[in-house]
């Protein structure tokens, strides 16, 4: 599995907004499929209404998405921790 960042435009309520989603997947096609599935279940958006602009492979240490950090936690720890500092909650 690799970490991917998927960006695009989807309907959120009555407006169309840009989104960026980090997720673990086997391939770019699998990342697209998972994005359609997640956006459809969270926001009731059809696949036809979601426009995916780019799918790029990323270093898992640069993501703050819990789904990615959990999946790659052993690799992140072995590499010395996350690259991006974790912001404290207020």
Domains detected in the chain: 2-78 (3.10.20.10)
Cα–Cα dist 21/32, whole Å: 10
Find how far residue 87's CA is from the centre of its chain: 19
What is the dihedral sign for C-alpha 87, 20, 32, 62?
negative
* Nearest in space to 47 (alpha carbons), one of 58, 56, 55, 39: 39
- The string of pLDDT tens digits covering residues 32-78 is 999 999 999 998 999 999 999 999 999 998 988 999 999 999 888 88
Q: Could you tell me the pTM of the whole model?
A: 0.84
Distance CA 24, CA 41 (A): 18
Looking at residue 7, its pLDDT comes to 97
Instruction: Tokens for 83, please give them.
Output: 């690259």
């Amino acid at each position: 599995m690799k970490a991917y960042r998927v960006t695009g435009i989807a309907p959120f309520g009555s407006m169309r907004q840009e989104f960026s989603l980090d997720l673990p997947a086997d391939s770019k096609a699998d990342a697209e499929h998972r994005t359609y599935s997640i956006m459809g279940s969270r926001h009731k958006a059809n696949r036809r209404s979601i426009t995916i602009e780019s799918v790029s492979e990323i270093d898992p240490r640069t993501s703050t998405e819990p789904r990615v950090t959990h999946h790659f936690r052993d690799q992140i720890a072995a590499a010395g921790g996350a690259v991006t500092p974790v912001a404290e909650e207020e």
